[in-house]
Amino acid sequence: MPDHSAEGLPRGTVLVLGAAGFIGGFIVAALRSVGWQVTRGVRSRPRLAVDERACDFAALQTVEDWLPLLEGIDAVVNAAGLLRDRGRDRLAAIHEHAPLALAQACVRRGIARFVQISALGEPADGEFIASKHRFDDALLALPLQAMVLRASVVYSTAGSYGGSSLLRALAAFPRFLPLPGDGHWRMQPCAAEDLAELVARALSAPAPGVFEIGGPAPLSLRDYQLHWRAWLRAPGRRVVGIPERCVDIAVQIGEWVGRGPLGAATWRMLQRGVDIAPAQRQQVIDAFGWAPRALPEVLAGRPSQAQDRWHAQLYLLAPVLRVSVIALWLLSAVAGFITPAADIERLAAGSWLGQTWPDALARMAGGVDLLLALWLMSGRQPRRAIAAMLALLGTYTVTFGAALPVLWLDPLGGLAKNLVLVPALAVLWVLSDRR
């Protein structure tokens, strides 16, 4: 990547919205490397770092809301985004209304430079694209030096997010490469580091307008995945097609539950193709003196490590482990509810548990198991749910292990299974922080 870290220092202070996100993190690093002071706009949380400001787009919908947050700011980069509506976060609010109020506040504050990270696609693909493009048009109509960067598929050898995580996981699949359809769809992928480099150049030498960002030449999805498979050192080049209808159903389920790495709009974009015209790439070179590198060049610049393969291979296993844990807790709840009282009392006989109310305790434990299973199923604060499961499992193990030590030798693994469940829950706790 070109090194121009000494050019024109110092540069001033830039507010980067979405700084904690996948693309935002690379932008922050690139801007700091060329001398910008960066203030990171992040979601509200109890403790903010000295370089952070709480920027909750759902709450910042007017010019007056943004004005205090622009104190001391010389330029703005908006990399905030949302794949689908989620709770009180709505696509129109996050992609259009809040950033438009921000841009209007920049006009009022006299902040001229504004870089918008948008996306390639057609508004007909879905609200994800339509809401971004509506803001792009409104931004360019304001008296600002506004630059809109519409990137094709964004990737990085240093990490992944959402759909790129899913594609990397498929590329690392054992023995063969699962591929949606026949993989003929075209894309022009761009490294996140290269997109960040363009942001730095855009702020240093503003060239107002819309720029489509991608690598030197289009790739089919099949070739894109095979490049990643080789990089991950996954053996075999055999491709197995996944019927498009199956992907349609998986995407529809993801939209219905409000989760999943591939949204309906991005699926339609992928099917239509996300490549750029040669004239568009030349426009980027003319404006910024540089353009993103080809995928093979980027991959050759950093060999994969064991951790890259861990992430790719664990990505698809994490939801399987989560579903298994939920099923186990639901079955435990059912057992607590339907096991006959006589069986419970017979098991507890001869121990101090028999002197309590073992039947009532079993029913209560079944209720707790059910609540924890539903909590983890909801997807809300999963780490707290898993921590509660670990605490409950530890309580069960210590209590029953001491009161009924014979359970350790149960041929069906009554308590022995907990020796595996504890680390399995710990692994799930780690994997719950996924993108």
- How many domains does the structure of the chain reveal? 2
Residue 245 lies in a domain: no
Residue 20 burial class via C-beta count within 10 angstroms: exposed 0-12, middle 13-18, buried 19 and up: middle
Taking the C-alpha atoms of residue 375 and residue 384, their distance in angstroms, rounded to an integer, is: 9
Q: Could you read off the pLDDT tens digit of each residue along the chain, which spans 435 residues?
A: 555 444 544 579 999 999 999 999 999 999 999 999 999 999 877 788 999 999 989 889 999 999 999 999 999 999 998 887 777 788 999 999 999 999 999 999 999 999 999 999 888 888 989 999 999 999 999 999 999 999 999 999 999 988 889 999 999 999 999 998 888 899 999 999 999 999 999 999 889 999 999 999 999 999 999 999 999 999 988 999 999 899 889 888 888 877 778 888 888 888 888 889 889 999 999 999 999 999 999 999 999 999 999 999 999 999 999 999 999 999 999 998 998 988 877 777 777 776 778 788 888 889 999 999 999 999 889 999 999 999 999 988 888 877 778 778 777 777 888 899 999 999 999 999 877
Does 212 lie in the same domain as 69?
A: yes
Collapsed DSSP state (helix, strand, coil) of residue 298: helix
Q: What pTM does this model have?
A: 0.87
Is 167 a domain residue? no
Residues 56, 123 share a domain = yes
> Does residue 389 belong to any structural domain of this protein?
yes
Q: Are residues 283 and 330 in the same domain?
A: no
**């996924």: which residue's tokens?**
434
- Domain of 122: which CATH number? 3.40.50.720
**Within a domain: 33:** yes
Q: Do 213 and 105 lie in a common domain?
A: yes
- 273 touches 185 (CB < 8 A): yes
Residues 33 and 122 in one domain: yes
- Best CA proximity match to 213, nearest among 297, 299, 292, 114: 292
DSSP of 26-63, one letter per residue?
Answer: HHHHHHHHTT-EEEEEE---SS--TTEEE--TTT--SH
